Structure 1
Amino acid sequence: MISYFIVGSLLVIISIILSSFSSRLGIPILLIFLVLGMLAGIDGIGKIDFNDYSVAYTISNLALAIILLDGGMKTKFQAFRIALLPALSLSTLGVIITSGLTGIVAAWIFKLDILEGMLIGAIIGSTDASAVFSLLGNTNLKEHVNATLEIESGSNDPMSMFLTTILISTIQNKYPTYVNFTVLLHLFYEFGLGILLGCIGGWCICKIINRLKLAHSLYPLLALSGGIMLFSITNLLHGSGILSVYLCGLMLGNYPIRNRFEILQMFDGMTWLSQICMFLILGLLVTPSDLLSIAKPALLLSFWIIFIARPLSVLFGLLPFKKYSKKELLFLSWVGLRGAVPIILSVFPMMAGLDNARFYFNVSFFIVLISLLIQGTSINFAAKLTNVIAEKMCQPIFRGGISFYQENSWEILIYQIKIGSHLSNVPINQLSLPRFVYIVAIFRKNKFVQVVSRNVLNCEDIVIFIGKTSAIFKLEKLFNS
């Protein structure tokens, strides 16, 4: 048991160290975690023989719940107002189109029965929230493009999961091979229950957090435990736990909540740990030598998804919406990132005992590798090429709550006056600060400067503000006007 702890902690430490090279090398950090897991596996230098699919499935689901809870908390209601309908179209119709086109070609390439080909299509039909949230976090995209990708990745897993389970049941002859009313009713039930429990559960968790007086470090644990419990209950009731935990995070992130910044800070760390553990375990689960026999046809199928199936699903999914330019549609097509979810879904056939289960897993894993390698490494280039990068906003170098009441009604923000900023050489008394926003300190070349109205702000000054939460957006406008 002790050796497992040593190996596990060593793998996490190596993953964290290697993550610092990710941006320099232009390699997605999730790909590094995945490859490291493969190197530690049975065919790699670690020689770890791990093949417990039920454990991998459980840990991956827990990790995915934490990632989606954090992703939902960082998604603003404004994003839903901007891109809800287009994103929902991509997460339903888009997944069906991608899965169908992929399934037909998969059956032809691998010489499978059409239902088996469709099963492969369903497994890899959705984009992955962990990959999208991770890779888009450092790219400043246009608001409606970013919102579309975030909401799509957070809401398209239920459709892919539904199609996968239906096809597995069909192959096992538990359901007829056609879609009937009962199947459609179950789909609406799964989506509806996920939405209902996610919104109600998130609202209840907000109320509980705001009413209880606890040690400050317990609030993040309460929010995390509440989200995971909601995820589990929704799954137990055969709803979409993935959708419910994402919406729970959305409620937590957009309503007044006690100790918001402590919660966000802990969620950041937990999300990183979840991504590391999930991709390491999924990497351990695969036997790299098994991928060689399916490499050529799987590579061909990967290219079909990237260059044909995903673009067609975006084209038809967003056809009713005229807000996207051709270049934006091209970028949305390119960011059809596959990640942890297809690998997790590929475990379903193994747990169901299907004959070609290991084959489905290997194909899905290979396609995820290619997606992260080709699409993941080129996102910034694609964003520049298609002109979807927005003007970089001036962000505070620190932001935190200083009130421990029901909501953080007062906050502290620290900004640095950048070279070339329009606020450089401006006297403090001419700043036109919003009401209830005050400068409390200035640091210039690591020395404290007394705050008086006639003082002039210089480049690279560190300025500390205190303000009411309701007025902070006006301060952000001041720095970015």
Structure 2
Amino acid sequence: MSDTFPFARLVLLVGAVGLLALLSNRLTERIRIPAPLLVLVTAAVAVQVIPDLYRPSELLVERLVTLALICILFDGGLHLGWSRFRTAAAPIAITGVLGTFLTAAAAAAFIHYAFGLSWFLSLLVATAISPTDPAVVFSVLGRREVTGRSGTILEGESGANDPVGIALMASLITAGGISAGAFGEIAGEFALQMGIGAAVGVVGGRALLWFMRAVPLPSEGLYPLRTAACALILFGVATLAHGSGFLAVFVAGILIGDERAPYKREIERFHSALASLGEIVAFVVLGLTVDLAELTHADVLIPGLVIGAVLAVVIRPVCVGLCLIPAGLERNERAFVLFAGLKGAVPILLGSFILAAQVPDAERLYGIVVVVVLFSVLLQGSLVPTAARLLRLPMRVVEPEPWAIGVRLRDEPEGVHRFTVTTGAPAHGHRIDELRDLPEDAWISFVVRENQLLRVRGDSLLQAGDEVLVLADPSLRDKLAATFHG
């Protein structure tokens, strides 16, 4: 019984922190400061003003943030889905891999010549600050959602460059320096991690989809837990095989995202909530590692601010801009993607890798990484809504949908297809009776617009963002997708 009250105080503290973190999202809509930044700064201030507050060890931080990233990347893959991913697969792969390498190389050169750090330390810092985080962007956009390929590229790039950045950092630390032999070792280790991670993701995603469909469970609540457990297994298998476990879970999520499976909607909601919890845990834990006094030192604050500004204004626009040339984006869409490459939890996690590696001046380097992230999230992040408005970016307002109607079926329904009409698709701006490419035996049974169920008639005009439920033969799915997706 002696531990009851201390444990109750701990439970109370955890619950209060979680509730405040959730409510910070409402505050974000008013002050345009990303919620992750509020959580990070609050945790950093708390550990300074409360002497008895526990400061976690580097190993515990790494493990907790790793678990959080598994949840975040798997949910990111589910949300992205194969149909959206394949429309922008090339730019996602190019920006996620080549863009990360170019950004790291350019940032390393700037850090080396501007601040006199050795090439190895410059490359470690540059690698840490290369990955991006779209969750920060979407946090400040609130209920507005970026439409078109630019939003898909933003999501896909982050999902790809997180595993790339982590694998590159691990390879650099393993090599322990820069030389001709080290570059070969780094390239070989990186290629191995990416190749194995992708292979495990593809095979594991297909196996998980079969498992979800073929093996029933006795309770509805067990289905989401099964996919969560399998995501952890995929991460473990890929990592033990010397591959990127983060890439494996992201790829598996993409392959499952658009597929039908029992209790799929419940699974998606569970993983969305789990990813939100993971984001809170990651920023709270990382915030507890930040020494605010260290950040105020001139040799930390000034380099961090300068690097953050140059990265946002020069390095990313040039390096990633070159990668986006073949993507065929409109100028305003390309400009927004380049501006919205905000930093998040992964750079700070990679900075903690530098601390754990005990390289020279590690505390200072970690502080510089944190300052770059704070600059990116606070200054860039607060300007994202303004940039979207000035660039006239195509967006739509996504209102919460707390109510749903539906039916439960024992067996998988045949020939039920759900689509969201996209801008420029053959169905966009046309009446239902004008859809010449729609198969004769296809029947549009539901149309939902702005959370309202519409009466379906021949003269009903379809608009971008409409959700359409179509009854048709399963073999017609690709043809239907061409009508509603383009």
TM category (shorter chain) comes to: 0.7 to 0.9
1:188 equivalent among 186, 191, 202: 191
Match of 2:153 in 1: 148
Structure 2 vs 1, CA of residues 398 and 475 (structure 1 numbering), >3 Å: closer, same or farther?
farther
Shift of 1:187: 2.0
How large is the RMSD of aligned CA atoms in angstroms? 4.0
Alignment CA distance shift 1:356-1:393 (3 Å) = closer
Checking the alignment, whether the CA contact within 8 Å between 1:257 and 1:408 is kept in structure 2 is: no
Change (3 A) 1:373 1:221: same
**Cα displacement (A) at 1:303:** 0.3
In the alignment, which residue of structure 2 is the partner of 1:64?
A: 69
The amino acid of 1:33's aligned partner reads V
Which range moved further: 353-362 or 343-352?
353-362
Counterpart in 1 of 2:372? 367
1: CA distance, partners of 2:413 / 2:72: 24
* Equivalent residues of 2:343, 2:376 under 8 A apart: yes
1:22 corresponds to which residue? 28
Alignment partner of 1:39 is 2:45: yes
- What is the letter of the counterpart of residue 295 of structure 1? L
Superimposed CA distance per residue, residues 100-142 of structure 1 (whole angstroms, 9 cap, x where no aligned partner): 2211222344432121111100111121254356556743324
- Which one of the candidate residues 196, 202, 214 is aligned to 1:211? 214
* TM-score relative to the length of structure 2: 0.81
Mind listing any 5+ residue stretches in structure 2 that lack a counterpart?
Answer: 1-6, 420-428, 431-439, 448-454, 461-466
Q: Percent identity?
A: 25
Contact 2:140 2:385 in 1 (8 A): no
Of 78, 81, 93, the match for 1:76:
81
Is the 8 Å Cα contact of residues 203 and 248 (structure 1) preserved in structure 2?
yes
The answer (yes or no) to whether the contact 1:119–1:164 under 8 Å persists in 2 is yes
2:19 to 2, 6, 13: 13
Deviations 1:334-354 (A, max 9, x none): 011110111111111222222
Q: Distance in 1 between matches of 2:285 and 2:100?
A: 26
Aligned residue for 1:402, secondary structure, equals: coil
CA offset at residue 40 of structure 1? 2.0
Q: Give the CA deviation at 1:27.
A: 1.5
Q: Which amino acid aligns with 2:25?
A: S
Distance 2:400 2:18 in 1: 30
Q: 1:6 to 1:96 in 2, by over 3 A?
A: same
1:346 alignment partner, SS class = helix
Structure-to-structure mapping, 1:164-175, within 5 angstroms? 164-170=169-175, 172=176
Q: Is 1:232 aligned with 2:236?
A: yes
Preserved CA contact (<8 Å) 1:89 1:317: yes
Please state if 1:105 is matched with 2:95: no
More divergent stretch after superposition (302-311 vs 88-97): 88-97
Correspondence for 2:120 = 115
- Counting only pairs closer than 5 Å after superposition, residues 75-474 of structure 1 correspond to structure 2 as 75-128=80-133, 130-132=135-137, 134=139, 138-170=143-175, 172=176, 176=179, 178=181, 180-214=183-217, 215-293=219-297, 294-319=300-325, 321=326, 323-390=328-395, 398=404, 402-406=408-412, 435=442, 438=445, 468=471
* Change over 3 Å in CA distance of 1:400–1:341 after alignment to 2: farther
Report the CA distance between 1:152 and its aligned residue: 0.8
Change (3 A) 1:401 1:179: farther
In 2: Cα distance, 1:366 partner to 1:213 partner: 49
Distance in 2, Cα, partners of 1:111 & 1:296: 14
2:436 aligned residue: none
Asked if the contact 1:190–1:239 (Cα under 8 Å) also holds between the matched residues in 2, the reply is yes
The range that moved more, 204-213 or 131-140, is 131-140
**Whole-angstrom CA distance in 2 between matches of 1:14 and 1:356:** 35
For 1:84 and 1:474, the matched residues in 2 are separated by: 21
Whole-angstrom CA distance in 1 between matches of 2:406 and 2:315: 44
Task: State the Cα distance separating 1:322 from its structure 2 match.
Answer: 5.4
Cα drift, residue 33 of structure 1: 1.6
Q: What letter corresponds to residue 262 of structure 1 in structure 2?
A: E
The answer as to whether partners of 1:338 and 1:372 remain within 8 angstroms in 2 is yes
